[in-house]
Chains A and B, each alone.
Chain A
Amino acid sequence: MQPLVDARVLRPTQMALALKLVSEMDLLRLKTIARLHARGLPPDIGWEDLLQEALTRVLTGARRVPEQIAPVAFIAGVMRSLRSEHWRRAGEMRARYAASDYRSYRTREQALRDTAPDPERSLIAIEELKTIERLFADDPVVLRIIDALGEGLSAEQIRTALALSKTDYDSARKRMRRCLLREGLTCRPK
């Protein structure tokens, strides 16, 4: 992704605001989501790049917003898919490198078909999970909820597994949201 460095042109965020695609509050919400999805990406891809790219794709019509989906939810989904696209490309590059030196494989095709997890990506994921855990270090209930979310449990399953009432679960989610919003709105570059 090419970073936007020219201040003379209207940024996609400003354009989306002018076209009333999103409100100012939605922009702040998208900022926090972009920061979330920029986790673990290389340092040359920041949250701004992710958000501006997602908005550019929506504004140019490369991604068309369905009528029944809120624009914010759709743009968040585009950012998620951009993240997946990055890792897919990185995986392809790794496979090509492996295929160019395929002594450990029987054939070049076998090397290209290798679906073993990328060790670098695994390491980055472990680091990012630790960072998220540190964010909620003083809230054991939220930490347990995040563990359960990582295992792919639904809200009902989490409440049953952690023996939480609906009120306790909702208040934990509220604390989690507040913490995430604070983290997402800071002025740090990444």
Chain B
Amino acid sequence: MPTKVTRLFPETTLERVLEALERELVEATEEEILGAAHDLGMKPEMKGSAAFLGLRYPSARRREEFFDPQWVARVLNDPRRIWLASRSLPPGPQAPRPSAARRARTRPGVRRSPRTPKEPTGS
């Protein structure tokens, strides 16, 4: 009799693993939770501990809360937009300074001191 082969889909495996790990976390003792927090340098016993970020205090805002993720992906991957963005960047240190070029093109007579008015003649 041929052996029965059962195919296990990765999503089924993941769900089983997550469910088992969830049970482990539900059973975790308070000492274990405190120990893990202390490992990270957190002190949950203190008011305002970083361990309560996202629980009692709002955590750092995610980009997805403000922008549609598909729109962000489209913008970031659009080569036309990347080219436009690179055009607006300030020039690097090796680039020629426009002020020096401009100075060379100015006419020498422009900065001459104003001529003193002539003395009125008596005639």
- B-contact 0/1 string along A18-40, CB 8 Å cutoff: 00000011011101110011011
> Is B75 located at the chain interface by the 8 A CB criterion?
no
Q: Given A27-B52, A47-B54, A182-B39, A177–B25 Cβ distance below 8 Å? A: yes
The docked-state distance in angstroms from the alpha carbon of A185 to that of B53 is: 9
B17, B30, B54, B61: which contacts A150 (Cβ < 8 A)?
B17
Residues of B within 8 A of A40 (CB): 14
The docked-state distance in angstroms from the alpha carbon of A112 to that of B26 is: 38
B37 touching A37, Cβ below 8 Å? no
> Is A88 located at the chain interface by the 8 A CB criterion?
no
Give the number of residues in A that approach B within 8 Å (Cβ atoms). Answer: 61
Give residues of chain B (53-97) contacting chain A, Cβ–Cβ below 8 Å. 53-56, 58-62, 64-65, 69
Q: Given A5-B65, A177-B25, A14–B56 Cβ distance below 8 Å? A: yes
> Is B1 located at the chain interface by the 8 A CB criterion?
no
B10 touching A125, Cβ below 8 Å? yes
Q: Is the interface of B mostly helix, strand, loop or mixed?
A: helix
Closest to A122 in B: B10
B64 touching A125, Cβ below 8 Å? no
Give residues of chain A (84-123) contacting chain B, Cβ–Cβ below 8 Å. 87, 117-118, 121-122
The docked-state distance in angstroms from the alpha carbon of A117 to that of B11 is: 9
A87, A146, A182: which contacts B17 (Cβ < 8 A)?
A146
Residues of A within 8 A of B44 (CB): 24-25, 28
The docked-state distance in angstroms from the alpha carbon of A37 to that of B27 is: 16
Interface residues of B toward A: which range?
35 or more
Q: Given A33-B26, A42-B69, A185-B40, A178–B55 Cβ distance below 8 Å? A: no
Closest to A186 in B: B40
The docked-state distance in angstroms from the alpha carbon of A48 to that of B44 is: 18
Q: Given A48-B54, A185-B42, A180–B69 Cβ distance below 8 Å? A: no
The docked-state distance in angstroms from the alpha carbon of A29 to that of B52 is: 11
Residues of B within 8 A of A62 (CB): none
A189 touching B59, Cβ below 8 Å? yes
Q: Given A7-B58, A44-B64, A184–B25 Cβ distance below 8 Å? A: yes
A39, A43, A150, A174: which contacts B16 (Cβ < 8 A)?
A150
Write the residues of chain B forming the contact surface with A, with a CB cutoff of 8 angstroms: 8-11, 13-14, 16-22, 24-28, 30, 32-37, 39-40, 42, 44, 50-56, 58-62, 64-65, 69
Residue pairs across A and B with Cβ atoms less than 8 A apart, 8 shown, are: A25-B44, A28-B52, A44-B64, A125-B13, A150-B17, A177-B24, A185-B40, A190-B62
